[in-house]
């Protein structure tokens, strides 16, 4: 069993807020004449931090700002993708960059450069 420190927990909240604000700006840049609403999605077992509609398609984004990402961390993305037939999804990480199936793993600093 592992525990997160209060500082790590607060940092995670700040990173989520920064990522959400960046998503709003991206949406405004890509589709200037549309609403820039972001959504939080949750069912009984899973949750997604940010869902944004890009060109009328949902894009789920999960923020996992930690050193080690395991498959359980991405279970909500996988479920959402199957349920809503989403071709790609994004996991914002602390330092991992790569592709895991159809999940783009991207460090926060790089995501903010998009």
Tell if the pTM clears 0.85, that is, is over it: yes
What are residue 64's DSSP bridge partners? 93
Given a cut of 80, whether residue 3 has pLDDT beyond it is no
> Which SS3 state, helix, strand or coil, does residue 73 take?
helix
Domain annotation for the chain: domains and CATH numbers: 6-111 (3.40.1350)
Q: Supply the pLDDT for residue 4.
A: 66
- What is the tens place of the pLDDT at every residue in 25-79? 999 999 998 888 899 999 999 999 999 999 889 999 999 999 899 999 999 999 9
Q: Supply the pLDDT for residue 1.
A: 47
- What is the tens place of the pLDDT at every residue in 72-98? 999 999 999 999 999 999 999 999 999
């Amino acid at each position: 069993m592992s525990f997160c420190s209060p500082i790590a927990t607060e940092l995670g909240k700040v990173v989520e807020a920064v990522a959400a604000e960046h998503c709003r700006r991206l949406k405004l840049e890509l589709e200037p004449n549309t609403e820039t609403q972001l959504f939080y999605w949750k069912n009984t077992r899973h949750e997604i931090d940010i869902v944004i509609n890009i060109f009328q398609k949902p894009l789920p984004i999960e923020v996992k700002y930690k050193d080690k990402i395991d498959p359980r961390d991405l279970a909500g993305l996988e479920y959402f993708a199957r349920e809503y037939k989403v071709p790609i999804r994004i996991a914002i990480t602390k330092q991992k960059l790569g592709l895991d199936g159809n999940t783009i793993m991207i460090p926060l600093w790089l995501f903010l450069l998009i």
